Each structure stands twice: as C-alpha cells, then as structure tokens.
C-alpha cells in the first residue's frame, strides 16, 4: 500500500543483499529507512532520497505492515528505557583521565625501580668478581 506522506523522524539503514535497488520518482536510489515517530516506531519504509529538500518527489512506501497497538507500546517503552539509561558525564571522563595519568605515573615508577635494581645488581656483581677473573 503506497502513501504520499512520510514520517518526520527516520534513520537510514542498509538494504539486505537479496533486495534490489529501489528508485523514487526523481530517479534517485531510495534507501530503506526506519521511522522512529510515536505513531510508527521501528516501522521500515522507502522514501524519496531528497526527503529533506523542497524539491522532493514525495515518493513513499511502507515496507512493514502497521504494528499492533501492543507492539507499538512495547517499542516505545523500550525506547524510553533506553533514553533513561545512565550516560557518561564529563566528570566521569575527567575521572578516567585522572586515573589514566595516575596509572602512567605508577608504571613509570615501576620502570625506574626495575632500572635501579638492575644497576645495583650489576654493580654488586662487578664488585664481587675478583680482578684476576676480569683479565
């Protein structure tokens, strides 16, 4: 069933290998998109490639049948929960940067300590060897 209206919120997605290239009335390839509106969340469609421009041909065709009210409700609920999930703040990133700097310092000190130990051990070996064994 073809309609001349389009959803206001969508994202592009790739077509599967088995699908042929589709073209709108402008003659441009029209990728499969997914609607994320309140009325049709997750519903896929084809639309004019120029959908953001005034010169679009207004080609529009749903791929999926209309979802049941329950399916729409579940999708919207999942989207809402996803949006409510904790996000990373700038303070969290600053904490990570601070911890990385501290870790670099610890690793640097470890290298210094290992180098000093090697120096002391090699110096101790040189002193403990009799001079006659060196020549």
Of the candidates 45, 50, 49, which has an alpha carbon nearest to the alpha carbon of residue 61? 45
Can you give the length of the chain in residues?
Answer: 135
Tell me whether residue 2 is in a domain.
Answer: no
pTM to 2 decimal places: 0.49
Q: Which residue has the higher pLDDT, 92 or 122?
A: 122
Structural domains counted in the chain: 2
Tell me whether residue 50 is in a domain.
Answer: yes
Buried b (16+ CB within 10 A) or exposed e, 43-76: bebbbbbbbeeeebbebbebeeeebeeeebeebe
Segment 60-79, tens digit of pLDDT: 899 999 999 999 999 999 98
Asked if 66 and 108 sit in the same domain, the reply is no
Segment 19-33, tens digit of pLDDT: 678 888 888 888 888
Tell me whether residue 110 is in a domain.
Answer: yes
Asked if 80 and 14 sit in the same domain, the reply is yes
Asked if 19 and 59 sit in the same domain, the reply is yes
């Amino acid at each position: 069933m073809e309609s001349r209206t389009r959803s206001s919120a969508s994202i592009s997605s790739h077509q599967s290998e088995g699908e042929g290239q589709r073209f709108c009335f402008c003659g441009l390839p029209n990728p499969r998109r997914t609607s994320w509106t309140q009325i049709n969340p997750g519903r896929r469609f084809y639309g004019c490639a120029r959908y953001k421009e005034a010169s679009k041909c207004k080609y529009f065709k749903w791929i999926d049948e209309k979802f049941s009210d329950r399916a729409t409700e579940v999708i919207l609920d999942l989207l809402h929960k996803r949006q409510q999930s904790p996000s990373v703040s700038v303070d969290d990133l600053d904490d990570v940067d601070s911890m990385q700097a501290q870790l670099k310092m610890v690793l640097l000190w470890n290298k210094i300590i290992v180098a000093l130990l090697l120096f002391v051990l090699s110096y101790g070996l040189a002193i403990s060897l009799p001079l006659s064994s060196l020549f």
